[in-house]
Amino acid sequence: MTRYDGRKNDELRPIKIQVGIIKNADGSCYLEWGKNTVLATVHGPKPIFPKHLGDETKAIIDYRYRMAPFSVSERKAPVPGKREKEISLVSGQALESAIFVEKFPNTVIDIDTIILSADAGTRVAALTAASVACANAGIPMKGLISAVAAGVVNKECVLDLMYEEEATEGTTDMPLALLMPQKEIVLLQMDGNVDRKQWETIIEMATKGSEKVYELQKKALLEKYPIEGELDE
Amino acid sequence: MNEIINTLYAEEVKNAIKAGGQRLDKRKLDEFRKIEIKKGGLNWADGSAIVKIGDTEVVCGIKFEIGEPYPDSPDQGSMTLNIELTGIASPEYFTGPPTLEAMEYGRIADRVIRSAEIIDFKDLCIIPGEKVLLIFIDCYAINAAGNIIDATEIASICALLDAKIPKIDENNKIIKGEYSDKKLNIKKIPLSFTFEKIENKIVLDPTDKEEDAGTTRFSIGICEDKIVSCQKSKSGTFTQKEILEMTDIALKKYGEIKKEILKYIKM
């Protein structure tokens, strides 16, 4: 079976990552992932107001995943729905596992991601961008968060579903995020219908895919912060 | 309960787990608490159930309403699942607008039932593109003692199995208190299995004290031999091996829990 855009089953869409493109933010990232475009910014750690919202043991991660009204074919109301709130919650928890939050008690780290154009896989694109933006902001982290979805379309296990595949009837979609290079799972969601064998296959596929995403994130960051005076010279 | 006592409880849970995988209530790591179900009994609900998992208790009531279909599925009805975590259930909860926690629990339970595709929403169509039946599944936690997610899911599925579809008059309005002969025709029981990771050990069906001691949660939806949904939450991490281990426990336990439920429910 061939895919809509001719990709192999375990092939990612083209990904382009730009680091630090917004002056006013402590950290930022612009990311193009197939036909998805995402903007992520980071502000903080900064004192939290009102103070009672703070935690005396760690920084609060305030992660927002939002879809612009013009990011999908039917205009989406700008007020966040339950889906956006849930994605914000689990994505924030995923990033929290990477950040040394205990170093910044009574503060908040604001992480804003906005989908400018959506083509399936937006939560993993946003999380991938947010992780790069956190690195750009100089936030102490155990590693980067690298994410991608895998799933089952027409009984085939495939990596990185695009809109046409996600919209196919009976599709299973499973966004996964890893803390890299530790390879620990920090986000995993799924809805669909798979047997045990397909389940293991798509988890492995998304793990391998996330490792590829990690290489692209590293490349973008090292281009922004090149190693000076290479030893070989 | 005050915060320091909760911290002490969490310490006790962790110490027991560290001392050799013991749980404070003597359960095995992959053992569910006792499940008790009361189906029906709420006069004004079109279907209802009260589910107890140990000390956790959730009530679910179903109401049908007539509404418009979604533009992308003009010949189908739809369902909405909601869980309220109010001050009734725990001193940790406060009455007021729904919390993120409640919203997430509802979404997880909703996904298990939705993905298993046990309801044929085309059966709920009255006039294509104009009028369909909407199923409102409303749950309240009565006592929160851990694992509200699975209790909500089981209560919802039991209430759905109890539900009768209302009669509709010639003006396409629901006739209150009268029911058609049609049922929702549910043939499978999807079940949610929630795990908590505590001190690198994984326990099934966590109590509230175990939830406080844990750093990571995983819920997986199983329908017969298929995996239909999942959600990892909280700020800890899992290895791929742990995810597959939890999957296998859930698949193995499915038959046992389904049998427990069928003691109370006829399909």
Q: Is the ipTM of this complex over 0.85?
A: yes
**Model confidence pLDDT, tens digit, residues A38-79:** 999 999 999 999 999 999 999 999 999 999 999 999 999 999
What is chain A's alpha carbon radius of gyration, rounded to the nearest angstrom?
18
User: Residue A184's pLDDT is what?
Assistant: 98
Residues linked to residue B219 through DSSP beta bridges, in sequence order: B194, B231
Structural domain includes residue A2: no
Structural domain includes residue B16: no
Structural domain includes residue B22: no
Instruction: Report how far residue B120's alpha carbon sits from residue A18's, in angstroms, rounded to the nearest whole number.
Output: 46
The CATH number for A170's domain is 3.30.230.70
Report in angstroms the alpha-carbon separations of A52 from A107, A193, B83. Answer: 11, 43, 26
Domain count, chain B: 1
User: Residue A233's pLDDT is what?
Assistant: 46
Structural domain includes residue A10: no
CB contacts < 8 Å between A and B, how many? 87
Instruction: Report how far residue B156's alpha carbon sits from residue B139's, in angstroms, rounded to the nearest whole number.
Output: 7
Instruction: Report how far residue B201's alpha carbon sits from residue B6's, in angstroms, rounded to the nearest whole number.
Output: 20
**Model confidence pLDDT, tens digit, residues A4-22:** 999 999 999 999 999 999 9
Give the CA count within 13 Å in the CB-facing half-sphere of B7.
3
Structural domain includes residue A230: no
| Contact state of B226 with A188 under an 8 Å Cβ cutoff | no
Q: Give chain B's largest Cα–Cα span.
A: 68
pLDDT at A229 over 80: no
Instruction: Report how far residue A36's alpha carbon sits from residue A7's, in angstroms, rounded to the nearest whole number.
Output: 16
Structural domain includes residue A37: yes
Structural domain includes residue A6: no
Nearest CA in chain B to A205: B240
Structural domain includes residue B13: no
H or E element that contains B157:
helix B148-162
User: Which chain A residues in 193-232 lie under 8 Å from chain B, judged by CB atoms?
Assistant: 193-196, 199-200, 203-204, 207
Structural domain includes residue A130: yes
The overall average pLDDT reported for chain A is 95
| Domain enclosing residue B101, as ranges | 28-265
Can you list the residues of chain B whose pLDDT is less than 70?
1
For residue B192, give the nearest of B158, B168, B141 by alpha carbon: B158
| Domain enclosing residue A110, as ranges | 15-224
Is B60:B52 a contact under the CB 8 Å cutoff?
no
CA distance to partner chain B, nearest, from residue A74 (Å): 11
| Contact state of B115 with A96 under an 8 Å Cβ cutoff | no
pLDDT at A24 over 90: yes
| Contact state of A195 with B239 under an 8 Å Cβ cutoff | no
Structural domain includes residue B12: no
**Model confidence pLDDT, tens digit, residues B82-140:** 999 998 999 888 888 889 999 999 999 999 999 999 999 999 999 999 999 999 999 99
Structural domain includes residue A199: yes
Structural domain includes residue A127: yes
Domain count, chain A: 1
User: Nearest 5°: CA angle at B217, between A214 and B210?
Assistant: 145
CA distance to partner chain B, nearest, from residue A37 (Å): 25
**Model confidence pLDDT, tens digit, residues A125-184:** 999 999 999 999 999 999 999 999 999 999 999 999 999 999 999 999 999 999 999 999
Phi-psi region of B20 (alpha: psi -120 to 50; beta: other; left: phi over 0): left
* Three-state secondary-structure class, residue A51: helix
Structural domain includes residue B51: yes
Structural domain includes residue B7: no
User: Which chain A residues in 94-133 lie under 8 Å from chain B, judged by CB atoms?
Assistant: 94, 96-97
The CATH number for B41's domain is 3.30.230.70
Is A106:A47 a contact under the CB 8 Å cutoff?
yes
| Contact state of B237 with A189 under an 8 Å Cβ cutoff | no
Instruction: Report how far residue A146's alpha carbon sits from residue A128's, in angstroms, rounded to the nearest whole number.
Output: 5
